[in-house]
Amino acid sequence: MGDWKTTDGLPRRRRHRALSPLREHLRDTFWFAPTAALVLVFVVWSAATAADDAILTALRDAGDEEAVSDLLGIAEDAKTVVTTISAAMMTFIGVVFSISLVAVQMAAGQFSPRVVRIFVRSRITKATFAVFLATFVQSLLVLTSYDSQRDPALVASIPLVQSVLTLILVALSVVLFVMYVNSTLRLMRVAHVVDLITREALRVVASMPLDVSAEEAVGAGTGPGRGTGLGAETARIAHHGRAGVLRDVDIARLVRMARQNGVVLRLVPRIGDFVVPGTPVFAVHGGSASKALRALSFQVSVGAERTFHQDLGFGLRQLSDIALRALSPAVNDPTTAVQAVDRIVQFLSSVAQRPLGALLHRDRRGVVRLVQPVPGWTELVDLAFTEIRGCGVSSPQVTRRLLAGLDDLLAAVPEDRRAPLVRHRTLLTQAVERTVPEAADRAFALHPDRQGIG
C-alpha cells in the first residue's frame, strides 16, 4: 500500500496492510500450502486434460492417424514412469518427513522447543511437501486418463500433456528435495538458528513506526491529534474469546475504526501477554462508547503460543532460552551461549535509538488513533541479560562476552539509557567476585572479550 508521510513532518513509514495478520497466521500453519497445491493440481490437470483432448480432436479432424499412433506410443512409454512415480512418491514422502521430524526434535532439545516454529514457517519445507503431494495426486489423476483402447481410430484419450506435466513435477520435486535437505541440516546448526531468529526479530523492529512515545503524547494535552494526548478514557472493551497468548491485533482495521468513531484506542495488554475472558484489551479515549466499538474484541488474535508478527520481545526470549539451555549442566555448551549473546547485542543495538514503551499508529491525516504498548528499554535489557548473567557467572567465556557486549552497548546508547546497562555490568562483576575465589581467575573472567575466550 506504499509509504506515506504525516503532515507534521514525521518520518515516512509503510502503512500496515489489512491482510497482514492473516498472512502471518497462515505462515504459522502447515496445512494451507499443501491444500492450495492440491486445489491447484486439480485445476492444472483439468487444463491439461482439455489440451490433450484438443490435440487428439485436431489430429483426427486432419485425418492424421499416424500422428495419433505416434502419440499413443509416447503416452504408453510415459505410463510406465507415471506408474512408478505413483507407487513410490507417498512412501518417499513418509520416509523423508519422518526423518525430518526426528531432526527437528533433536534441534528442539538442543536449542529450545520454540525453534520448531522455524521448521513450521519454513517456505522451502512447505513448498517441498506441497509439490510432493501434488506430484503424487497428479500421477494418480493421469493414470485415470489412460484409455485401454489401443486402436488409434477408437482411442478416446491420450494423456500426453498430463504425462509431461507429471515429469515436470518430478523434476521440481528432486530440486526441492535437495534444497529441503540442505535447509533441514542448517536447522541443526546453532549459527543458522540464531541468525534466523535475529532476522525475524529485526523485521519486527523495522516495522515499528519511528514516532514519539505515548508518554510524550499523553502529557501534551487533551483530545486526539498529532502529539496532543489521548483524552479522557470513556470505555474499556474486554476480551470475550478463549484464553491464550495475545498474538497480534489488526492495526489497519483498528485505526480505521477509531477514525470512523472519532476516538483514540489504547491496547491495554502487550502483545505476548496471556489473556483470559474478561481481561480488558482496549481502552477508548475521547468520543463516546458506541455499539460499533464492541466489535473491537474481534480484531485481536489469541493463540497457544507467541509469534514474531508484532511481538518485540519474542526474539530476545528465544535467544535467551537458547543461551540458558546451553548453560544448563546437562548441555554445558558456553560457546553456543556466546553465539546467542552476540545476536542479543545486535538486537539491542538496533533498538537503542528507537522510541520504546509504546507505539503510536496514525491515520492518513497523521492523527493518533491507536496506542500499542511495547517493552521499554529497561525491560528489554533485563530480558536479555538477567537470566544469562545468573546462569553464566561460573563460565569465564560467557562473562567476558557479556562484559564486552555491555561495554559496546554503553558506547552506542543515549545517556538516558545507560543506567540498566551499568546495573547489569555491576551485578555481573559482583557475582564473579563472589563466585570465583582466585584473584587471577577473577581478573581473567572480568576481562571483556567479544569472542568470549578467543
pLDDT at 84: 84
What Cα–Cα distance (Å) separates residue 80 from each residue in 3, 93, 157? 55, 20, 17
Residue 115's nearest CA partner among 208, 31, 200, 22 is 200
Instruction: Please name which of 453, 256, 447 lies closest in space to residue 369, comparing C-alpha atoms.
Output: 256
pLDDT > 50? residue 415: yes
How does pLDDT run across 63-117, given as a tens digit for each residue? 777 777 778 777 777 888 888 888 888 888 888 888 878 878 877 777 877 778 7
| 407/92: higher pLDDT | 407
Any idea of the CA torsion for 275, 283, 309, 380, to the nearest 10 degrees? -80
Separation between Cα atoms, residue 140 and residue 87, nearest integer Å: 9
Cell of 43: 485445476
The dihedrals phi and psi of 336, each to the nearest 5 degrees, come to: -65, -40
- Which residue has 500433456 as its cell numbers? 161
pLDDT at 217: 43
Query: If we measure between CA atoms, which residue out of 234, 359, 264, 254 comes closest to residue 298?
Result: 254
- For the entire predicted model, the pTM comes to 0.79
Please determine, for residue 18, whether its predicted confidence score (pLDDT) is greater than 60. Answer: no
Give the separation between CA 279 and CA 299, rounded to whole angstroms: 15
Cα–Cα distance between 112 and 173 in angstroms, integer? Answer: 30
Give the pLDDT confidence score for residue 229 in this predicted structure.
60
> Of 58-67, 219-228, 442-451, where does mean pLDDT reach its minimum?
219-228
- Which class for 97: exposed (0-12), middle (13-18), buried (19 or more C-beta within 10 A)? middle
pLDDT tens digit sequence for 213-234: 444 444 333 333 344 467 788 8
Query: Is a pLDDT exceeding 80 seen at residue 380?
Result: yes
Closest CA to 308 of 15, 25, 3, 16: 25
CB-based burial of residue 32 (10 Å sphere; 0-12 exposed, 13-18 middle, 19+ buried)?
middle
Rounded average pLDDT over 195-201: 92
pLDDT at 15 over 70: no
Q: What angle do CA 192, 195, 199 make, to 5 degrees?
A: 140
How much is the pLDDT for 289? 58
What is the Cα–Cα distance from 335 to 397, expressed in whole angstroms? 8
pLDDT for the residue numbered 20: 63
Percent helix, strand, coil in the chain (nearest 5)? 60, 10, 30
Q: What is the mean pLDDT of the chain?
A: 83
Pairing of strands 274-275, 244-249: antiparallel
Percent of the chain with pLDDT over 70: 89
Residue 69: all three cell numbers together: 499412433
pLDDT beyond 70 at 200: yes
Please name which of 59, 80, 61 lies closest in space to residue 69, comparing C-alpha atoms. Answer: 59
Residue type, 265: L
Summarize pLDDT for 307-317 with one digit per residue, the tens: 888 899 999 99
The closest alpha carbon to 197, from 121, 104, 126, belongs to 121
Distance CA 409, CA 113 (A): 29
Question: Contact 246/238 with Cβ under 8 angstroms?
Answer: no
Percent of the chain with pLDDT over 90: 37
DSSP characters for 370-404?
EEEE---HHHHHHHHHHHHHHHSTT-HHHHHHHHH
Residue 339: the pLDDT is 94
Render pLDDT for 325-340 as a digit per residue (tens, 0 to 9): 999 888 889 999 999 9
CA atoms within 13 A on the CB side of 301: 22
